[in-house]
Amino acid sequence: MKVYSFGIETVPVAGISAEDGILIIGSVRNENYKIMLLKLNYEGELEWFKFFGGKDDWEGHSIARVSDGYLIGGAVEGIATPEGGKAWKAYLAKINKNGKSVWERKYRILGNECVYS
């Protein structure tokens, strides 16, 4: 059994089979939450890890394979609203097979959006 921890709280959410291993997406919290992406080989050894995020809370919820990489989805905390919400924005990014960001987008339609596969 392998145990990996990257902060005060590590929350894996979803995983998919990759060409030569497994990709796991989730969130990790130190001062705030960031999107966590792990690449493990088929023996469970960590090959690399990446974090995506900024000063607000970022949550990783889903990952999907596309022809030339992967799409990761989640949510980014927004500005507090008068109603007490955080006006979360949907987050979508394309990454290559090594976890490097190709592009990323944030979407706000009505507030409190999120991307799930």
pLDDT of 79 strictly over 60: yes
pTM metric for this prediction: 0.81
What digits encode the pLDDT tens for the residues 50-78? 999 988 888 899 999 999 999 999 989 87
Residue 3 lies in a domain: no
Residue 117 lies in a domain: no
Predicted pLDDT of residue 1? 55
Per the listing, tokens 């990489």 go with 69
Give the mean pLDDT of 80-108. Answer: 84
pLDDT of 110 strictly over 80: no
| Residue 98 CA to its chain's centroid (Å) | 15
The secondary structure of residue 80, as a DSSP letter, is P
Q: How many domains does the chain have?
A: 1
Residue 66 lies in a domain: yes
Calpha distance 101→84 (Å, rounded) = 32
Q: Say if CB 90 and CB 75 are below 8 A apart.
A: yes
Range of the domain at 57: 9-107
Residue 81 lies in a domain: yes
pLDDT over 90 percentage in the chain: 40
